[in-house]
Chains A and B, each alone.
Chain A
Amino acid sequence: MNYPVMKTYIYLSLIPEGLVASHLSPFEFGNYLAVGTKKRSRGQAIFFEIERFDSDFFQWDEIEQHCVPHSDGRAKRSAYLGIYRVLEHVPLDALKSLYLVTDDGRVLELKASEFQPANFQQHHLYQELCPVTPRVVSVLDPSEFCKSITDRSKAVSVNKMAFCELTLNKLSRDPDSDDIGDLPYPNIGHLRDCLRELEDKSGKNNKQVDRGLNSEILYRTVKNGFFVGDCEGMKYYPMPSQEQLEREYYTWWRSALTTFGQ
């Protein structure tokens, strides 16, 4: 059968972890992930577009076998190449843009940039996205946290990690602050306890707040952006400011604000 020639994209989905080949462009693919073909489902998605790279782990020839247009000429939406330990086998250099998809399929593209850590002491709240999904408070800045969590000499570590930093507002300096403002996290009391524990116990850098991601991420709570890295390096995908989101990406931003997440 002669198929029309279509460009094939490769995506690394973070929630759930998976390597996917598709004929859909990133924005179409994001919409497809969120609301499906029949547009009856809904759900947040976060994924990278990646360049093909040399790998013994992935069977690239499956792309040619499975990612082919349908017999009626329609594009192939998704052909899964892997669903387990995918992130750790994708080199950082292969990662292109990161795409954040809202519940109803609006897609925002983030490009990688240089990370400049803050030069003052504060607590951080990290949401790990892949391969595991606990929520953690830490005294380490994102690059230090990334190194710490991917340090394979430690018992609790992974080979590579994708995560984002969530805002703590005044709690980042003072866990006892009464003013939680617009922090939407459930069980703030527990979050305070975890932050206090970091202060009380010298030497403890990280403390788990939640064992897993119970719901969707509220994009408005992402403080500075998304990070992916290992002990050798880290890539940073900065989140636009709320003013910029409202001004330049209003449709996405409005949709993101509608999400009932955590």
Chain B
Amino acid sequence: MDNLLFWIVPASSIIALFFAYYFYHQMMGESEGTDDMKRIAYHVRCGAIAYLKQQYKIVLCVFIVITALFAWLSYGLHVQNNWVWFAFLTGGFFSGLAGFFGMKTATAASSRAAYAANQSLDHGLRVAFRSGAVMGLVVVGLGLLDISLWFITLNYFVDSATESEKLILITTTMLTFGMGASLQALFARVGGGIFTKAADVGADLVGKVEAGIPEDDPRNPATIADNVGDNVGDVAGMGADLYESYCGSILATAALGAAAFANTDKQLEAVLAPMLIASVGTILSILGIFAVRVKEGAGMRQLMGALSKGVNISGVLIVVLSYFILNMLELPNALGIWGAIIVGLITGIFIGKATEYYTSHAYKPTQRIADQAKTGPATVIISGMGEGMNSVCAPVLAVVVGTILAYGFASGSWSFEASSMGMGLYGIGIAAVGMLSTLGITLATDAYGPIADNAGGNAEMSGLPPEVRRRTDALDALGNTTAATGKGFAIGSAALTALALLASYVEELKIGLHHQNQDSIIVAGQSIPLNQANLVDFMTAYQVHLMNPKVLLGVFIGAMMAFFFCGLTMNAVGRAAGKMVDEVRRQFKKMPGIMEGTEEPDYARCVQISTMAAQQEMLIPALIAVMTPVLIGLLLGVPGVMGLLAGALAAGFALAVFMANSGGAWDNAKKFIEEGHMGGKGSDAHKAAVIGDTVGDPFKDTSGPSLNILIKLMTMVSIVTAGVTISYSIL
């Protein structure tokens, strides 16, 4: 390797994985508690593993088919890079592995966190948070490992006329492993989302409403499935989602860097910069994780402060150290690129805060929804949708402003001319990397949520003393807030990553043209060599402009896809929840001892029902997401695909924010009422808010978060099949 700084990347990945193991080992050394606690944790663990096994079986079948297809496109039709099939497989494998480790840790951690809370709040927080950190560090560790291995391998095998072309080929090839990660993430998010909400809604509708038994009551047959679902959706799903965003942002930026700095002596440095920033961010995340601790008797503010302290330490240090990294790499306009990194970080923080503002009941929007509950469920729904729609403004404007600033800082020009476009797009990519650079700790705060939630459930079901339940409740409440902000962060980072990927798509077109043995494109009647053609040349050559109906058609279909995908996943939750309701009713009917507490419900059966429903229901949305860019590419060509991606990104981003925030706000409006406002528990306002919360469940936990991945997956599929689009498009 020409630049020895590269070795920081594999080294930091190994350090991240070491600390992930260290935290895992530390957590496993904690007591699992009483026999009851062990029994409950065992059920959840078995359910989670059974779900993952089933999911991986189906995903494996899909991966085999797609891999075979890619191999045929590469070796049979010669329209695709020969590494694509293998890259696709490794991306899927590492993403799945991250989800598996995260889930294994989370399900082992809940009872231990509950038991640790028996000793002190700080101990409970540390066990839960550091278990969440396992997920965060596994994701970044495996991501960086995957990137390192690919970079080393391709550097060894890829041969090209010039070093510059070689780097472009390597980075665009590496980009394709993102599709494997995306597809795995889609299955994890959609499947997990359907699983968790089927179990949750089923448990609530029969358990609470029909049988009158409280939440997390061991007599409810669906309660274990509900706990499994928290892990499946928010640990494995969120982990796979952010794994893809993390790798996608680094690889897209590397590809954009290779293109922007082509034929210069700083090309390698431009490629390494996003990898190094992410690597240093990983080490800083570990430092931040060690900084998280609280004193006994801490309230919500102190708990939130403890987590924020860890995140803030990592964030401030990455700002400082990235400046030195860029200067060490001696990149041109290093200060501007550094500015783009800061913009990315600030955009991420702003989106998180905006999400908190719109979903936490400490603020007016959620309180307004709670107030509307006094007049019934209809006004709760109207108000929740209204606030959710309003909430779209802040993150979208943040991304707009962030994108402009990142572009301007990195390009060193605010004129948006073709000559500086490459640098500007590189700036957008590096802003996404900046946002995700400390993913190790931000994902730890996300994964902490379901662990704390399950710890609370375990404490409840095993009848721990009130002071322990108070502690686990405090940890759980904190987890609810971090889960909501985590979703906002995931959506925001996905939008920025998708923007970078969109630009990378054009780089893939060049590779596709190479495979067709074309070495130039025709722009305004003039032949321009591929290695000299810039982005604007490609846009002109393929007529990617708004007056081209193919672009507009693509935009329409892209926007439609976001809604269609949501519709499919929402209906899937409805059907799956229906099956769960039938099963819970059946068990109450056939097993009267359940209600007396003398007979244990068949928890495994409920887990199985949710698992099977999730697997059946996730397949069609996933296949539609994969097939659409290919079909649009075949039908409308490059302009259609660009329109599709732009439409899906614009509509999907806004819709995802709306759904996630509406759902979060409905949930917290209900909690606000339960805390003693508007009549409190059992009041008419509470009943209305419960309906709002039930409607919001698939919004925030199934459809909303799945849209991130839809956007990224469609972009990834377009990137991977760029060669097919160029070779076989009809119009």
Contact = CB atoms under 8 A, between A and B. Distances in A.
Interface of A: 31, 35, 37-40, 42, 102-105, 180-186, 188, 218, 220-221, 246-247, 250-251, 254-255, 257-262
Contacts of B678: 180
B590 to A, nearest CB: 10
Given A39-B588, A105-B595, A184 B210 contact: no
A37 B595 CA distance: 10
B602 interface: no
B614 to A, nearest CB: 27
A185 B212 contact: no
Contacts of B592: 37-40
Interface of B: 208-215, 217, 219, 460, 463, 466, 469, 588-589, 592-596, 676-684, 686-687
A210 B269 CA distance: 78
Given A37-B592, A102-B212, 4 more contacts: A180-B679, A186-B683, A218-B682, A260-B686
Contacts of A42: 210-212
Contact of A181 (B210, B213, B596, B680): B680
A184 B466 contact: no
Chain A interface mostly? loop
30 contacts: A35-B595, A38-B592, A39-B592, A39-B593, A39-B595, A42-B211, A42-B212, A102-B212, A104-B212, A104-B213, A182-B683, A184-B679, A184-B680, A184-B682, A185-B679, A186-B683, A186-B684, A218-B682, A246-B466, A250-B469, A251-B463, A255-B214, A257-B214, A257-B681, A258-B212, A258-B213, A258-B214, A259-B212, A260-B686, A261-B682
A40 B588 contact: yes
Nearest to A182: B680
Q: Give me the 8 closest cross-chain CB pairs, A-B, nearest first.
A: A182-B680, A103-B212, A184-B683, A182-B676, A39-B595, A39-B592, A184-B679, A104-B212
A218 B682 CA distance: 7
A206 to B, nearest CB: 24
A220 B214 CA distance: 15
A258 B208 contact: yes
Contacts of A38: 589, 592
Nearest to B469: A250
Given A181-B680, A220-B682, A250-B466, A31 B210 contact: no
Contacts of A186: 683-684
Contacts of B213: 104, 255, 258
A181 B676 contact: yes
B212 A39 contact: no
B679 A182 contact: yes
A215 to B, nearest CB: 9
A37 B593 CA distance: 10
B517 to A, nearest CB: 71
A135 B213 CA distance: 27
B211 A104 contact: yes
Listed residue (B211, B676, B678) with the most chain A CB atoms within 10 angstroms of its CB: B211
A180 B589 CA distance: 40
Nearest to B212: A103
Contact of B681 (A102, A184, A250, A251): A184
A183 B680 contact: yes
B133 to A, nearest CB: 32
Contacts of B210: 42
Contacts of B682: 184, 218, 220-221, 257, 259-262
Nearest to B215: A258
Contacts of B593: 39
Contacts of A104: 211-213, 219, 595
Nearest to A102: B212
A247 B680 contact: no
A169 B687 CA distance: 21
Contacts of A103: 211-212
B466 A31 contact: no
Contacts of A221: 682
A255 B212 CA distance: 8
A39 B679 contact: no
A220 B681 contact: yes
Nearest to B592: A39
A209 to B, nearest CB: 15
Given A40-B589, A42-B210, A102-B212, A31 B463 contact: no
Contacts of A259: 212, 682
Contacts of A102: 212
Contacts of A218: 681-682
Contacts of B211: 42, 103-104
